[in-house]
Structure 1
Amino acid sequence: MRFVPKFTLLYLTWLLLLAAALYSAVTGQYEVTFTAAWTLALTLVPFALPNLIGVRLPDGFIVAIALFLLGTIFLGEMADFYERFWWWDMMLHGGSAIGLGLAGVILMLILLKGNRMTAAPLIVSIFAFSFAVATGVLWEIYEFAMDQLFGMNMQKSGLVDTMWDLIIDCVGAAAGAGAGYVYLTRADARGLVTLIRDFVGKNRHLVQGGPPDPAGDRSAPPASLRDQDSGTEAPSRPASPGRPRVRHRE
């Protein structure tokens, strides 16, 4: 794999996990070894997605996934960051909610196949927000079930922890869904919108149909989306050359 400057944080994550796995193996801390190796393996999954399911993730998505896995599985659990830093869990909840909000926007674009005749940008954003919050609720149910069935302490302070998690989930989901609204209404927007634009550019075969685009164009939203949003029709295809029509006299 060639060096990519955008992947600097990803390379540092791999280096940290590899060093932790080797050091813990030498010192006999095999639980740490397994966790570090498992986390490292998960960070490689996005690179296999193009061959497995035909999805090409943008660089920003890949780096964010790796950092999230590092923060939750390795630093959060093994390094006990959840207990050391009171804001660690809140930060990860907010980050995951933003990611799920963006995922909801992308899912809606894929379902619509680039056709906004049936859904306005506001509807797409509402769906993305609901998708992210619903996923957060399911996670809280999972934590509650683990605590009740196996005596774990995933909810920490119980109801207070759950409510704060859900509030942060709503804020993060609103940010991700808002980025989707901006993407569909302003082609030149930056920030989180860039992640959606990059995904669409790399996966036009999913958003618009047709074969994959190896070049991964990262331009503005597809013309069909922009034209439908502005109320204008997409330019029609020029008529193919052929024999001229002959008008018969009556």
Structure 2
Amino acid sequence: MQKPEQQDQSREFNAHRIVIRVLLVLMAVEWILLLLDQRWLSLFLVTFIIGTVFSPILFRSRMQVEIPAEFHLTAVIFIFASFYLGEVQDFYQRLWWWDIALHTTAGLLMGILGFLLVYILNESKRVELNMNPGFIAFFAFTFALAIGSVWEIFEFGMDQFFGMNMQKPMLGDPSGLTDTMWDIIVNALGAFVISFSGFIYLKRKESFFVKKWIRSFIEKNPGMFKS
């Protein structure tokens, strides 16, 4: 009989497998339709989503790193919501709050990724580092801000060179500056929530949901970490 923890892992694995398969079928059909319609930019975005679905294979074969199911599923769902629903299906125009919600979520996710990266480096036996909780939290926050800034540059470039409308100019501000600033602000808020939560966890060992993600990554890649 399986232990409760094993049962949870089994349910997570099954949910991950079902969602990924459904998304792959949907993206494959969409890819063919976009190719027939010659919508090249949307085709590129859908191709990128499909590549993200298969990314664990690349990490496993090239870097000998196992990506936990919850990491992969979170990344795929976010990219699907951002690129497919947002850009291909035009949710950014249909729902005024879609852009704000995704940028806030991006801040949370990039904060988590930054926290995980520096925490893993701190615990890895391949790298001799010993960083305090304050620095780990600060790195997570600045990492999320940096990624958010790179994304805004990407949006600006796509608008300038391909005539897209990724910056979403607002009424009274056709330049898109207001949209860009709000994107950066909500991204920073999301990053701060995760960074501060991680700092409290490291200082006081209080509950922090990312702890489960860290433990999952360590369990799948034990050779990377100190005993």
Interval of TM-score (by shorter of Structure 1 and Structure 2) = 0.7 to 0.9
Structure 2: distance between partners of 1:24 and 1:128:
35
Q: Which amino acid aligns with 1:46?
A: P
Query: Aligned to 1:130, which of 142, 155, 160?
Result: 142
Instruction: State how far apart, in whole Å, the 1-side matches of 2:46 and 2:153 are.
Output: 27
Q: 1 or 2 for the larger relative contact order (CA 8 Å, sep ≥6)? A: 2
1:121 and 2:121 are equivalent in the alignment: no
The answer (yes or no) to whether the contact 2:16–2:69 under 8 Å persists in 1 is: no
Give me the identity figure in percent.
34
State the match for 1:107 in structure 2: 117
Given that 2:31 and 2:46 are in contact with CA atoms closer than 8 Å, whether structure 1 keeps it comes out as: no
Residue 14 of structure 1 contacts residue 40 of structure 1 at CA under 8 Å; is this kept in 2? no
Match of 1:60 in 2: 70
Tell me how far apart the structure 1 counterparts of residues 27 and 116 of structure 2 sit (CA, whole Å).
35
In the alignment, what sits opposite 2:203? 185
Q: TM-score, normalised by structure 1?
A: 0.69
| 2:183 maps to 1:173 | no
- In structure 2, relative to structure 1, the CA distance for the partners of 1:202 and 1:184 (3 Å cut) is farther
1:74-223 maps to which residues of 2 (within 5 A)? 74-113=84-123, 118-157=130-169, 158-187=176-205, 189-208=207-226
Q: Distance in 2 between matches of 1:10 and 1:198?
A: 17
| Residues 47/182 of structure 1: CA separation in 2 closer, same or farther (3 Å cut) | farther
Any residues of structure 2 matched to 1:17-28 within 5 Å, and which? 17-19=24-26, 21-22=28-29, 25=32, 28=36
Counterparts of 2:84 and 2:48, CA distance in 1: 9
**Partner amino acid for 2:220?**
K
Secondary structure, counterpart of 1:171 in structure 2: helix
Higher alpha-carbon deviation: 165-174 or 34-43: 34-43
**Which residues of structure 1 form unaligned runs of 5+?**
209-221, 223-250
* Aligned-partner Cα distance in 2 for 1:19–1:132: 30
Rg larger for? 1
User: Offset at 1:24?
Assistant: 6.9
Change (3 A) 1:173 1:134: same
TM-score (norm 2): 0.75
Distance 1:182 1:116 in 2: 24
* Structure-2 change in CA distance of 1:176 and 1:116 (3 Å): farther
Distance 1:23 1:196, change over 3 A: closer
Cα RMSD (Å): 3.1
